[in-house]
Amino acid sequence: MYPALGNLKLSDLKKGHLIKFYADVSKKSYSSAKNCRVILLTALRYAVGKKLISENPAEDLYVPKSEKDKQREKQKEYRTINIDSQATLTVEQLKLLIDKAKETKVYMYILFAGLMGLRKSEILGLKYSDVDFTRQTLYVQRQLGKDLSKPQDELPKKTLTKQEVSLKTRSSKRVLDIPDVVFNAILEQRRIYEKNRRRRPGKFQDEGYICCSSYGRPQSASYCYKGYKKLLSDNGLPNIRFHDLRHTYATILTNEEIDVKAISNSLGHSKTIITVDVYTDKKQMIIDASEQTQEFACEIFPITYLQGQQVEEANRTRFLDEIYYFPEGLAEEIMGIIQ
């Protein structure tokens, strides 16, 4: 970067300079050009934060792809995620985990991961404003983690990993139907939230996080680790990672023969192959074609659901390539022992 841009003053750097620079580097190496973009974008955001410049010339600029890179992208139409089913829970084990977790601080985490397939960072970022209480849907639109665009030395140490950041990929932004059991748990959690807010006027941090402290503060990624591992150990369950609850969700739905597009999109994947190794030898492949079809709409929403809805509500089908489906019967079976 230095030979191309090093002779320019920071105040003289314009979008045109960066467009030409990205194009020149991309001709030699597209990946190197992308790395340069990340470095420049982060550095210039820092400069804006320090008021060295009024606006960031690197914002909204992207690295152009060469024809060779475009062809390579087409060949990589799908990416593969391998799931070892021996590192997941069975339906019975998931039932037990949820049952034992109900009175613990990690209950909501386990419900969101095991019955909705959310990533831990996505769970941390969920707010009550993301819940459509009328349609019983959840909008996944943020996660908590490190925001490298902000000056790290100026942030309180306890909030470094609790910054609201963009989701992992564009397809991670999605709309999920909420199973009744999870919806009821959200309502109960909201009741507790309001109780704590009234008890701590002036001290309560009212930002609307579903998973938060009794003072309303967002929780860290390590918050549920000890409680989750203790539940596994105390109840003789496999010592799997928390992220494997997300894999458990995918595996259970695969075994229930749920539509593959619905599973992949509910996980926030686009054009993905998920390989499930079912106890050493049997393999099933989940391929997401990422197409919006009327058949998919009917599979996600029963016809009776759409009948009688207003036109503007029916237009919601534009989200259907991102909508989640969990068979209500299976959800009730998993949660039945807890009612």
Which amino acid makes up residue 143? Q
Q: How far is it, in rounded angstroms, from Cα 253 to Cα 264?
A: 10
Name the β-bridge partners of 175. 139
Q: How far is it, in rounded angstroms, from Cα 126 to Cα 212?
A: 10
Residues 224 and 175 in one domain: yes
Residue 314: per-residue pLDDT: 36
Q: How many domains does the chain have?
A: 2
Residue 223: per-residue pLDDT: 93
* Domain end position, chosen among 38, 67, 96: 67
Residues 183 and 162 in one domain: yes
Walk across the sheet containing 174-177 and list its strands.
131-132, 137-140, 174-177
Which amino acid makes up residue 316? R
Residue 180: per-residue pLDDT: 87
The parent domain of residue 155 ranges over 80-338
Residues 48 and 121 in one domain: no
Is residue 74, in this structure, part of any structural domain at all? Answer: no
Is residue 3, in this structure, part of any structural domain at all? Answer: no
Residues 41 and 172 in one domain: no
Residue 247 DSSP one-character state: H
Q: What is the pLDDT of residues 24-74, one digit of tens each?
A: 888 888 888 888 888 888 889 988 888 899 999 988 888 887 666 666 655
Choose among 278, 249, 284: nearest CA to 266. Answer: 249
* The two structure tokens encoding residue 124: 């941390």
Residues 191 and 105 in one domain: yes
Is residue 6, in this structure, part of any structural domain at all? Answer: no
Judged by DSSP in three states, 317 sits in helix
Judged by DSSP in three states, 9 sits in coil
Is residue 75, in this structure, part of any structural domain at all? Answer: no
* Domain end position, chosen among 22, 40, 67: 67
Q: How far is it, in rounded angstroms, from Cα 127 to Cα 144?
A: 11
Residues 159 and 189 in one domain: yes
Is residue 60, in this structure, part of any structural domain at all? Answer: yes
Residue 110 has, within 13 A of its CA and on its CB side, a CA count of: 26
Choose among 275, 149, 127, 258: nearest CA to 205. Answer: 127
pTM here is 0.63
Residue 102: per-residue pLDDT: 92
Residues 154 and 292 in one domain: yes
Q: Would you say 91 and 114 are in contact if contact means Cβ atoms under 8 Å apart?
A: no
Residues 39 and 110 in one domain: no
Is residue 181, in this structure, part of any structural domain at all? Answer: yes
Residue 333: per-residue pLDDT: 58
Q: Check which CATH number belongs to the domain holding 221 and give it.
A: 1.10.443.10
Q: What is the pLDDT of residues 83-102, one digit of tens each?
A: 676 789 988 999 899 999 99
Judged by DSSP in three states, 4 sits in helix
Residues 178 and 51 in one domain: no
Residues 101 and 152 in one domain: yes
Q: How far is it, in rounded angstroms, from Cα 236 to Cα 285?
A: 30
The CA–CA distances, whole Å, from 54 to 5, 19, 87, 117, 178 equal: 19, 19, 50, 41, 43
Residues 181 and 320 in one domain: yes
Residues 35 and 107 in one domain: no
Please list the ranges in the chain whose pLDDT falls under 50. 278-326, 337-339
